[in-house]
Amino acid sequence: MKNMKRILSIFIACILLMSPLAVFAADGSMIVIITKTGECYHLDGCRTLRSRIEVTLQDAVNRGYRPCQVCNPPTLSSSIDRSAPVTPTTPSTPEPQAPAWQPAAPVEEKPLFTDLSTSAYYYKAVVDLSDRGVIGGYPDGSFKPNQTVSRTQLAVMLVNANNVSSFASAGSSFIDVPKSHWAYSFISAAANAGYLGGYPDGSFKPEKEVSYNEALTMIVASLGYKMSDLQGSYPDCFTNKAKEIGIMNTCSKTGNGLLTRADVSCFLSDSFNSPRR
């Protein structure tokens, strides 16, 4: 009796394996089988099936798998009846068929900061500087691209961009930058490296906002260029050199307007590909 039951079970299993079946997921989506080679998707029972990796028909189409022309699985359509099993048909004279797959929709890139658009002209520059540790965002996840830049902030960026040690340099001699200032070591390092200077009265004016011309001057100076190396008078000698060596490839703004975080990101990112003196 036990042997008879075993034989009967094997016989039924063979019948099921030989019969094409349409399996449906809980959400009504058809389950198909895909090959390990990633070429085709099949209905269960197809004689050409090489492996059993089960996915929904929607997933198979989105991944770019082609329909098997032997078991002829149905094309993806909103008109498919999800409630009834599908009986695959094999045409007596196979004819070329258009593939039932379509390329997956591109995944939209998530912006690095909450207030940035990936299509903004300065976006790649911001990402580049963030990856290099030159500039960062704010605790709320924003970048504030239109916010102006102070002399202190630019000094910190220049020190970070040029990998200058902010602790190995002599102290600041500026009358308005005491040792208790949060960026004392950065301002000292930038000044001692020749990236920026103070005012005739001995001050630095750490909170003063930077203009485009001033920023380009400091960035060109950070690459080793001195005014004596350049032609013309200030500020044209520095802005012309900035344009010549590619610092203004992404952003070409100059003048006395106040520099923004977006545009200083463009200047500094481009400067990494500029020749040094």
pLDDT tens digits for range 79-114: 334 344 444 444 555 566 655 555 655 656 678 899
Tell me, yes or no, whether 64 and 134 share the same domain: no
- Specify the number of domains making up the chain: 2
Tell me, yes or no, whether 245 and 141 share the same domain: yes
Tell me, yes or no, whether 65 and 158 share the same domain: no
Q: CA-to-CA distance for 113 and 31, rounded, in angstroms?
A: 39
Q: How confident is the model at residue 28 (pLDDT cuts 50, 70, 90)?
A: low
Q: Of 54, 81, 107, which marks where a domain is finished?
A: 107
Q: How confident is the model at residue 7 (pLDDT cuts 50, 70, 90)?
A: low
pLDDT at residue 216 greater than cutoff 60: yes
Q: Has residue 193 been placed in a domain?
A: yes
Q: How open is the CA angle 81-82-86, to the nearest 5 degrees?
A: 75
Q: Has residue 128 been placed in a domain?
A: yes
Tell me, yes or no, whether 167 and 59 share the same domain: no
Q: Has residue 115 been placed in a domain?
A: no
pLDDT at residue 178 greater than cutoff 70: yes
Average pLDDT over residues 21-30: 53
Q: How confident is the model at residue 17 (pLDDT cuts 50, 70, 90)?
A: very low
Residue 229: which of 217, 239, 237 has the closest Cα?
237
pLDDT at residue 164 greater than cutoff 90: no
Q: Has residue 239 been placed in a domain?
A: yes
Strands (E), the chain: 23-24, 30-34, 40-42, 53-56, 66-67
3-state secondary structure of 56: strand
Tell me, yes or no, whether 74 and 170 share the same domain: no
Q: Has residue 277 been placed in a domain?
A: no
Q: Has residue 30 been placed in a domain?
A: yes
Tell me, yes or no, whether 201 and 259 share the same domain: yes
Q: Has residue 145 been placed in a domain?
A: yes
Average pLDDT, the chain: 80
Q: How confident is the model at residue 165 (pLDDT cuts 50, 70, 90)?
A: confident
Structural domain of 28: 1-107
21 close to 13: Cβ distance less than 8 angstroms: no
Tell me, yes or no, whether 144 and 101 share the same domain: no
Tell me, yes or no, whether 84 and 149 share the same domain: no
Question: 150: which strand partners?
Answer: 209
Tell me, yes or no, whether 179 and 90 share the same domain: no
Q: How confident is the model at residue 40 (pLDDT cuts 50, 70, 90)?
A: confident
Burial class of residue 227, CB neighbours in 10 A (0-12, 13-18, 19+): middle
Q: CA-to-CA distance for 191 and 197, rounded, in angstroms?
A: 6
Burial class of residue 262, CB neighbours in 10 A (0-12, 13-18, 19+): buried
Tell me, yes or no, whether 208 and 266 share the same domain: yes
Average pLDDT over residues 239-244: 97
CA dihedral sign, ordered 117, 119, 122, 128 = positive
Find the range with the poorest average confidence among 105-109, 119-123, 178-182, 190-194: 105-109
Q: Of 79, 107, 135, which marks where a domain is finished?
A: 107
Find the range with the poorest average confidence among 108-112, 160-164, 234-238: 108-112
Tell me, yes or no, whether 135 and 52 share the same domain: no
Q: Of 64, 82, 107, which marks where a domain is finished?
A: 107
Q: Has residue 158 been placed in a domain?
A: yes
Find the range with the poorest average confidence among 44-58, 122-136, 166-180, 208-222: 44-58
Strands (E), 131-260: none
Tell me, yes or no, whether 12 and 84 share the same domain: yes
Which structure tokens are listed for 263?
Answer: 């545009």
Cα–Cα distances in angstroms (integers) from residue 106 to residues 99, 270, 274, in the given order: 20, 28, 34
pLDDT at residue 181 greater than cutoff 70: yes
